[in-house]
């Protein structure tokens, strides 16, 4: 409220650069009067804005537009719509087998054990279990070290996430219904760009994540080809390659092309799922943070104005609803968050341990550093996106601090006290909350570990041919 | 309030899957009217529910039922009743010598120095002291390491807990009276299943804990037999066995069968008490958390309704009473909590240190990993159960957040501020509070320690024949 | 309020052990009536208690009593009186040179540069500075290790504390006046025992601390005699002894008896001051915590009763005053607290490092373990006593939680919010607050350090004859 | 309110030292009456003070004064004025290229890409980039250790800070306008000394920082001359010197005088910027903390008096404005804060690691210890100055606690709750807040690291001739 006129004075001053004190006094007088009038007409202003918008929207919808823009205009801005294609891609990789993810309304969502996608998912889970068993058998026959259990950790995480995502798929229709109910209650978006925003962020996250993951997989294949040539166990280069990348299979069975293809597919799918679980946490975080932002945008528009208690009461209930949504989603995905975080932490530590050793070849070095940077970047991205939910939920308080004295009422008080005392954030099974402070403490832990490692480093030759190659 | 009709809409939608916008509008209109009526009749609804329940209960008590169901119906749902048999079992193992633990009312509880169970307890304490002395003598004659002080730590903990439990037994009648007073004030259970719930959880905890502890003791005996054959000191296998499991006795005295039996008994009892102190903390936690849940269940039933200030005042006082109970119980048992936690932490560290060494035999490996997993599982169980008290006490806040604007009064405000600013949790002598965050920091500490160990590991041969075997 | 009648019921039940339900109902009816009457007469009750007390006190003062009891009765219960003799002893050891510490009223306190005690203090500071210089010279001529800087740390701490205590002495009269003003405003003690309590605790702390410190000094002398015989540098045993205990002096100068006596005195005084700085922090903590307790005792007496807003307003202002006193004292002594804490931490670490080495003799072992336990015990005592201030200041909240609905007013609200949001505790220059949580984190740090030490321990022979003996 | 008369009584007592009880009673009576009158006239008192001040100021401005005093009197006490010369010096070193930093009003501030200072800045950035590239090339050709990456870290930080400061320069005019608006709203300074205070502190910080940095640079040159003589690579001593201090250049190019001069200039500028980024954070902190202090001074003046709600409302809005300014400045400089903190931490760790090695010469030892102490001192100064913002913002609460019962209103309540629940502090990109607790945890981390280093120290000879000398 107070800053708008001030900014204008500031701008005017920049232009004129000189003004007599008398003029300034008069200005101030004028300002204060204008301000009073302004405050009285706040409510009127709000109505007018909403009226204008309502009149404008049907007109806008009639205009013929080019495809991509038109698609944007058909958007309702719901999370269900935004997340549809992302889930569709996940379903190709045997995750989240829910029917109707791309439909317009969440009411079409359905889960059934008899759908093809569910069966596909079950088959992959079975296949993962076999792979995990083979890895376990191989690892337990050698002495166990921090480095050698890498394949087990990797495959166990994949298996757990797959099973858990099947479970989540069953609850998904209900969750989306609930989300939809809360979304319909929130203050309306004013422009199509705002509506489009969340969906755009979600899709870009998915796209960039997938591209990088694909690039990493290609590099890993290149490096594996190189590696298998270096310590070759067989004359056939292709056989050689598979003997390395799926050593857990051929530790038990003799080489066969069918098994090699199965191993390859399993690896490809595992890599996708390994990346997808991080992306999934990011997407949910973006969804939740966007809902808080939608509320905050509304509060920002009326910041410092004299609003009625009913306005505040409505906002408080909306805030409470998003909090409850946050809590519900956290309960639903916190296991995945937990697995994703501990997995990332473990892999960063192992990779840093390996980084101290000499690389066998340039291809390895390139792949290794790309994969390390990708890993750290991904972990940071998950952390920051999920901390965004907490940050955005605290931001609301800033607008409440600017409520003028005249419209300070019991409702605003209750609202601000609730925000100040509540902890709204995604969590890892309630053991830790995902905030920016967590990022620091995790980074601190890794740096300390790395420092100790560097200080007492001896070359342990972790790149010997005996070691499992593909994670 | 708002979600009940919404859920119904959602369900209806799932069935019909299509509805004209007009119909939807009408529905909404109907809903809002229904809601208003509903809110007005909230108080009436409450009374009606309570009336129905009161009418139903005498009828239900007359019905003849099969034993186990009948037993359930005779339950009042008090903590005293629920904990009775657990304490009875403890008394067989020279703990908590209170008379009247299985009686119907806590008024029958009595402590006297002249009861047989008290004498039995005193004898065991004396015996423990002798055993501790012998252990101390043996350990101090060798160089002291982190690993070698294990028997002293073990036996000192047993001794301290026994003495402390005798002291607790003296205060037990008063504590149970106090608990009973507070329980009678709480909102009544609506169903027999709810009444039965707490007792069931407590008994299952006791049963599972005892079974696992028994299994571990059997495995330990098997492994000891194996071990004594491996580094045999005498021709007689039985003598050999006792020479190993009670080396602190036969370090001083010559072998005699009487001493061997005493040592065996002492070991058996010690193992029980070592497990029991964790189970005891769990049981108290379950009791306290259940009381908070009882209150929360009542709040949940009237969530979002317009309740009178007197309703909130009553709930606030009940909440305060449970807090005070929590504080009183924490003062009474926090020494045991402290001992239990530090003991578990020390043992996990020692076992992890040992886990890096090669096992002398398969029997050892099986026993070792079973015992390690049991130890970690038990520690986790104690942590999570005791964190439950804190979690449940914070949950109340959720229901207060949904109080509608109209019935927001000074009492609700006071209630919610008190919950937001208080810290209700069991503690280890006020040095740390038992929350889920603690679990994370403890786990982090152990993992860091283990990482450093792995990094600089040298095989220290902790499994030599000189070392004390039984803990 | 509610618990007093309840306890009575409980006790009655214990006696009768059976009562018909009808009787119980009647009892309850009677209770509620009695309670109402009771609440109405709360204010009257308060006045009556105070009246009685006022009448009683002049009579009591006239009675002729044996010396020790009489002395108690002449006590006003002020901190100035309680701390008088403690400061007098300190003045013998060149600390806190204020005139009039044993006088009845703080108005007699005076500081002047011309008093004999001030000169004595200045002489000791100069002597310490010389000693510190000699130590620095000796240590810097050898390679610096964690262990070898011990004498510098020790002497630098003594020097800093002496200078700071001189500075504190200048502010002491003002501080005591301020304290006195606040004490006179607090609710009156009801009995002479209560008045005597604080002084008793303070004197016992001083006495026990001094005795233990004296015992440690004697043991250290015994052990030094033993040590000097073991690595003798001269034929005269007395010269030998001084050559060891004051090696920093005789590193520069040739042996002379005068220097030896000076060194001995310096050591004796240093040991006293080293212990005294911890005791001083404890004494201030006891003083502050006692003032909070005095307030809490008053609140406890009227717990759950219907008190007037003016009662609460008065208590709030008294609480605020003690908080401000706490803040003022913290500013005055937080440098000493900081030095005391870091000094203790460093010494514990060094001693634990030494504890891994073999002792040269039994006399050493006895002295070493006694001194280590004394050090840890003293550190724990300082921590717990200073944490007591925080604990006692939070305790007030408990009585505010029990204020009945009827007398819940703006003043009580303000009072409870202020306690809930403020942090009242002694601090180490505001870098850390002295609470029970701090104790845990300090203990955790030491244990971790010790664990790492044990794990990578190599015998460094820290007991060679070259090393500085006396700290 | 209550303490002013009390202090007077105390002083009087000190003078007279004896007064009859009757007189004291009369005094108290008189005091209470005087107090009542005093409170009634609070508002009048406030107006009178302000009136007097307004009358006095025009008179004072007419008086002819000596230069330095006159300069002080022309001061408005704005941050823009205080920081002008500091920024001017920075501009000589290619930082913060804004036009008009020394002008009277912030409205004259301008940024343009075509100003000479902007071009100068761009040229330096390009030069830094080339230098960074050369360093990278040299370091990556050797095995990477914690110590060897020092030049990269140093140069990368310089480069990042330069680019970021260019970006900050573009936003600077807007930020200063905003700051100016908020400053004009704050309560007026009462004396010229108060006005002068902030500017004085800022300039002294700049001056002391620059002097120490210059001394360190001179010492580093001396030590480098010494060092280059020790491991000489060429016959010409000047060439030798440059071959050492700019080894990253001559690793690629042959020696030439032009390159040597460029290298020297680059080093000189880099050293300045390396120090300046810390000083810059300090200056902003001083500015923000001074604004909070300005508000606190006003609150202190009216502490304990009965002020009208409008007085509190005004103060609350002013406090809120400073908070928003704090937030805005934090967003603008938090990247620099982050770089400055991590840079300092890294350098302290590296220097401590080096401190364990033997020094090649006395010149080295002197330079090394001076530079280490300067580094630690600078880090501590940045930490404490930036923690001051938080401390000063919390201090406001103390004055609100003393508001008398009669004038306790909704506005004071809102004010105190907002302060109690908000976190006002500078931050490192929101990952950590700069408070005194942070200082402790950072110090703790460094000490732990140093302890581990000392314990497992092996002489790694970090002072060999191969190593990069200049950082």
Q: Quote the CA–CA distance of A19 and A13 in Å, as a whole number.
A: 8
**Is A445–B444 a contact, with Cβ atoms under 8 angstroms apart?**
yes
**Extents of the domains making up chain D:** 124-455
- Minimal CA separation from C442 to chain D, in Å: 11
Determine the residue among D6, D7, D10, D352 to mutate to test chain C binding: the one whose Cβ has the most chain C Cβ atoms within 10 Å: D10
Helix and strand tally (H, E) in chain A? 15, 0
DSSP D99: B
Q: What is the pLDDT of residue B73?
A: 56
User: In angstroms, what CA-CA distances link B78 with B181, B295, C15, D64, D377?
Assistant: 10, 14, 22, 88, 63
State ipTM.
0.81
Determine the residue among C108, C314, C345, C421 to mutate to test chain D binding: the one whose Cβ has the most chain D Cβ atoms within 10 Å: C421
In chain C, residues with a C-beta closer than 8 Å to the C-beta of D451 are: 146, 349, 449
Q: What is the pLDDT of residue A327?
A: 95
**Is D402–C349 a contact, with Cβ atoms under 8 angstroms apart?**
no
Beta-bridge mates of residue A69: none
**Which residue in the set C349, C411, C452 is minimally distant from D452, CB to CB?**
C452
- Minimal CA separation from A251 to chain B, in Å: 24
Average pLDDT, chain D: 83
In chain C, residues with a C-beta closer than 8 Å to the C-beta of B418 are: 401
Q: How confident is the model at residue D1 (pLDDT cuts 50, 70, 90)?
A: very low
Q: What average pLDDT does the segment A237-261 reach?
A: 86
Closest CA to A361 of A215, A226, A194: A226
Contact D167, D307 (CB under 8 A): no
Closest CA to A178 of A81, A80, A293: A80
Q: Quote the CA–CA distance of C220 and C237 in Å, as a whole number.
A: 16
Residue A426, phi then psi, degrees to nearest 5: -70, 155
- Minimal CA separation from C460 to chain B, in Å: 16
Q: What is the pLDDT of residue B308?
A: 92
**Is B6–A181 a contact, with Cβ atoms under 8 angstroms apart?**
yes
Q: What is the pLDDT of residue B56?
A: 52
Token digits for B38? 């509903």
Q: How confident is the model at residue A246 (pLDDT cuts 50, 70, 90)?
A: confident
Contact D192, D72 (CB under 8 A): yes
DSSP D466: T
Q: What is the pLDDT of residue C71?
A: 57
Token digits for C380? 């724990």
Q: Quote the CA–CA distance of B448 and B442 in Å, as a whole number.
A: 10
Q: Quote the CA–CA distance of A188 and A118 in Å, as a whole number.
A: 36
Sign of CA dihedral B215, B216, B220, B223: positive
- Minimal CA separation from C431 to chain D, in Å: 5
D-side interface with C, Cβ within 8 Å?
2, 6, 10, 13-14, 17, 391, 397, 401-402, 405, 408, 413, 416-417, 420-421, 436-437, 439-440, 444, 448, 451-452, 454-456
Q: What is the pLDDT of residue C13?
A: 52
Mean pLDDT by 10 residues, chain B (471 residues): 47 48 54 52 58 53 52 73 92 90 89 91 95 90 76 93 94 95 89 86 94 91 80 77 84 89 92 93 96 94 92 95 96 95 90 75 82 93 96 95 92 94 93 92 81 62 49 46
In chain A, residues with a C-beta closer than 8 Å to the C-beta of B444 are: 445
Sign of CA dihedral A423, A427, A431, A436: negative
Q: Quote the CA–CA distance of B81 and B421 in Å, as a whole number.
A: 33
**Is B452–A452 a contact, with Cβ atoms under 8 angstroms apart?**
yes
A311: pLDDT strictly greater than 80: yes
For helices D150-185 and D309-355, the axis angle rounded to 10 degrees is 170
DSSP D113: T
Q: Hey, is B283 helix, strand or coil? A: helix
Structural element, H or E, at residue A267: helix A257-301
Beta-bridge mates of residue B427: B433
Instruction: Specify the residue for token string 């280093």.
Output: D453
Contact A286, A205 (CB under 8 A): yes
**Which residue in the set C2, C401, C456 is minimally distant from B456, CB to CB?**
C456
Closest CA to D4 of D412, D300, D407, D394: D300
A134-191 confidence digits (pLDDT tens): 999 988 887 777 777 888 999 999 999 999 999 999 999 999 999 999 999 999 888 8
In chain A, residues with a C-beta closer than 8 Å to the C-beta of D445 are: 444, 448
**Which residue in the set D402, D405, D417 is minimally distant from C313, CB to CB?**
D405
**Which residue in the set C10, C408, C456 is minimally distant from B414, CB to CB?**
C408
A-side interface with B, Cβ within 8 Å?
107-108, 145-146, 177-178, 181, 313, 317, 320, 323, 349, 410-411, 414, 417-418, 421-422, 430-432, 445, 449, 452-453, 456
**Is A320–B401 a contact, with Cβ atoms under 8 angstroms apart?**
yes
Q: How far apart are the first and last CA of chain D?
A: 57
Token digits for C22? 């009808």
- Chains near B (3 or more Cβ pairs under 8 Å): A, C
Closest CA to C378 of C157, C208, C146, C159: C208
**Is D14–C414 a contact, with Cβ atoms under 8 angstroms apart?**
no
Transcribe C370-405 into DSSP letters.
HHHHHHHHHHHHHHHHHHHHHHHHHHHHHHHHT--G
Q: Quote the CA–CA distance of C470 and C217 in Å, as a whole number.
A: 10
Query: How many contacts (CB atoms, under 8 Å) link A and B?
Result: 48
In chain C, residues with a C-beta closer than 8 Å to the C-beta of D420 are: 417, 421
Token digits for D249? 């250049």
Structural element, H or E, at residue B235: none
- Minimal CA separation from C40 to chain B, in Å: 20
- Minimal CA separation from D16 to chain A, in Å: 51
A-side interface with D, Cβ within 8 Å?
2, 6, 10, 13-14, 17, 391, 397, 401-402, 405, 408, 413, 416-417, 420-421, 436-437, 439-440, 444, 448, 451-452, 454-456
Buried b (16+ CB within 10 A) or exposed e, C41-63: ebeeebeeeeeeeeeeeeeeeee
In chain B, residues with a C-beta closer than 8 Å to the C-beta of C456 are: 456
**Which residue in the set B402, B405, B452 is minimally distant from A313, CB to CB?**
B405
Transcribe C183-249 into DSSP letters.
HHHSPPPSSHHHHHHHHHHHHHHHHHHHHHHHHHHHHHHHHHHHHHHHT--SS-HHHHHHHHHTHHH
Tens-of-pLDDT digits for all 471 residues of chain C? Answer: 344 445 455 545 544 444 445 555 555 555 555 555 545 555 566 666 556 555 555 544 544 545 555 555 566 788 998 999 999 999 999 888 999 998 888 998 999 999 999 999 999 999 999 999 999 998 888 777 777 788 899 999 999 999 999 999 999 999 999 999 999 999 988 888 888 889 999 999 999 999 999 999 998 888 888 877 776 677 788 888 888 888 888 888 888 889 999 999 999 999 999 999 999 999 999 999 999 999 999 999 999 999 999 999 999 999 999 999 999 999 999 999 999 999 999 899 888 877 777 776 777 788 888 999 999 999 999 999 999 999 999 999 999 999 999 999 999 999 999 999 999 999 999 999 999 999 888 888 888 777 777 666 554 444 455 544 444
Residues 6+ apart with CB under 8 A from B101: B83, B84, B87, B88, B91, B109
Contact B328, B273 (CB under 8 A): no
Residues 6+ apart with CB under 8 A from B401: A320, A323, A418, A422, B416
Q: Quote the CA–CA distance of B38 and B8 in Å, as a whole number.
A: 15
DSSP D101: T
In chain A, residues with a C-beta closer than 8 Å to the C-beta of D430 are: 391, 436
Beta-bridge mates of residue D110: D99
Tell me the longest C-alpha to C-alpha distance in chain B: 96
Residue A110, phi then psi, degrees to nearest 5: -150, 145
Structural element, H or E, at residue D18: none
Task: Find the DSSP H helices in D17-115.
Answer: 21-40, 42-62, 67-74, 79-92
**Is C431–D440 a contact, with Cβ atoms under 8 angstroms apart?**
yes
Dihedral angle of Cα B427, B430, B435, B437, to the nearest 10 degrees: -150
- Minimal CA separation from C76 to chain B, in Å: 33
**Which residue in the set B313, B320, B349 is minimally distant from C401, CB to CB?**
B320
A465: pLDDT strictly greater than 60: no
In chain B, residues with a C-beta closer than 8 Å to the C-beta of C440 are: 431-432
Transcribe C397-446 into DSSP letters.
HHHHHT--GGG--HHHHHHHHHHHH-----BSTTSSB--HHHHHHHHHHH
Contact C93, C269 (CB under 8 A): yes
A333 by Cβ neighbours in 10 Å (0-12 / 13-18 / 19+) ranks as buried
In chain A, residues with a C-beta closer than 8 Å to the C-beta of D313 are: 405
Cα nearest neighbour of C109 on chain D: D14
**Is B414–C417 a contact, with Cβ atoms under 8 angstroms apart?**
no
Beta-bridge mates of residue A427: A433
Q: Quote the CA–CA distance of D258 and D266 in Å, as a whole number.
A: 12
- Chains near C (3 or more Cβ pairs under 8 Å): B, D
Closest CA to B274 of B429, B151, B176, B137: B151
Q: What is the pLDDT of residue B376?
A: 93
Residues 6+ apart with CB under 8 A from D366: D219, D223
**Which residue in the set C14, C405, C437 is minimally distant from B411, CB to CB?**
C405
Cα nearest neighbour of D459 on chain A: A455
**Which residue in the set D107, D146, D320 is minimally distant from A14, CB to CB?**
D107
Instruction: Specify the residue for token string 């005779």.
Output: B74
In chain B, residues with a C-beta closer than 8 Å to the C-beta of A414 are: 408, 413
- Chains near A (3 or more Cβ pairs under 8 Å): B, D
In chain B, residues with a C-beta closer than 8 Å to the C-beta of A313 are: 405
D431-444 confidence digits (pLDDT tens): 999 999 998 888 88
Cα nearest neighbour of A310 on chain B: B405
């Amino acid at each position: 409220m107070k800053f708008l006129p001030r900014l204008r004075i500031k701008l005017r001053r920049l232009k004129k650069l000189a003004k007599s004190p008398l003029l300034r006094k008069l200005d101030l007088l004028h300002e204060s009067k204008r301000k009073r009038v302004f405050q009285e007409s706040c409510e009127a202003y709000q109505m007018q804005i909403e009226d204008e918008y309502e009149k404008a929207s049907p007109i806008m919808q009639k205009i013929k537009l080019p495809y991509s823009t038109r698609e944007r205009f058909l958007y309702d801005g719901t999370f269900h719509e935004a997340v549809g294609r992302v889930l569709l891609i996940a379903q190709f990789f045997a995750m989240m087998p829910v029917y109707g993810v791309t439909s317009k309304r969440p009411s079409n969502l359905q889960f059934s054990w008899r759908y093809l996608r569910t069966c596909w998912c079950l088959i992959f889970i079975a296949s993962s279990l076999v792979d995990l068993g083979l890895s376990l058998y191989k690892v337990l026959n050698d002495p166990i070290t921090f480095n050698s259990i890498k394949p087990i950790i990797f495959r166990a995480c994949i298996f757990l996430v797959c099973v858990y995502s099947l479970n989540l798929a069953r609850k998904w229709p209900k969750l989306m219904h609930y989300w939809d109910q809360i979304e319909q209650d929130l203050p309306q978006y004013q422009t199509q760009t705002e509506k489009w925003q969340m969906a755009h962020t979600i899709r870009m996250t998915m796209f960039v994540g997938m591209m990088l993951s694909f690039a990493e997989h290609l590099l890993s294949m290149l490096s594996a080809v190189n590696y298998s040539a270096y310590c070759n166990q067989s004359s056939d280069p292709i056989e050689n390659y598979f003997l390395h990348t799926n050593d857990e299979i051929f530790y038990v069975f003799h080489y066969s092309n069918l098994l090699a293809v199965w191993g390859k597919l399993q690896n490809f799918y595992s890599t996708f799922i390994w990346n997808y679980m991080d992306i999934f946490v990011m997407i949910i975080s973006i969804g939740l943070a966007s809902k808080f932002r939608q509320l905050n945008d509304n509060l920002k528009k009326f910041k410092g104005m004299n609003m009625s208690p009913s306005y505040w009461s409505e906002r408080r209930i909306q805030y409470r609803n998003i909090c409850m949504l946050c809590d519900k989603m956290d309960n639903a995905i916190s296991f995945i968050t937990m697995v994703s975080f501990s997995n990332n932490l473990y892999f960063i530590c192992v990779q840093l341990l390996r980084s101290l050793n000499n690389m066998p070849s340039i291809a390895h070095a390139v792949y290794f550093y790309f994969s390390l940077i990708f890993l750290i970047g991904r972990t940071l991205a998950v952390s920051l996106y999920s901390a965004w939910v907490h940050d955005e939920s605290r931001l609301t308080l800033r607008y409440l601090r600017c409520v003028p004295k005249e419209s300070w009422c019991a409702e605003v008080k209750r609202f601000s006290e609730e925000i100040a005392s509540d902890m709204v954030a995604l969590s890892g099974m309630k053991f830790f909350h995902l905030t920016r402070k967590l990022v620091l403490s995790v980074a601190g832990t890794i740096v300390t570990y790395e420092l100790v490692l560097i200080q007492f480093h001896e070359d342990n030759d972790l790149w010997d041919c005996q070691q499992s190659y593909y994670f």
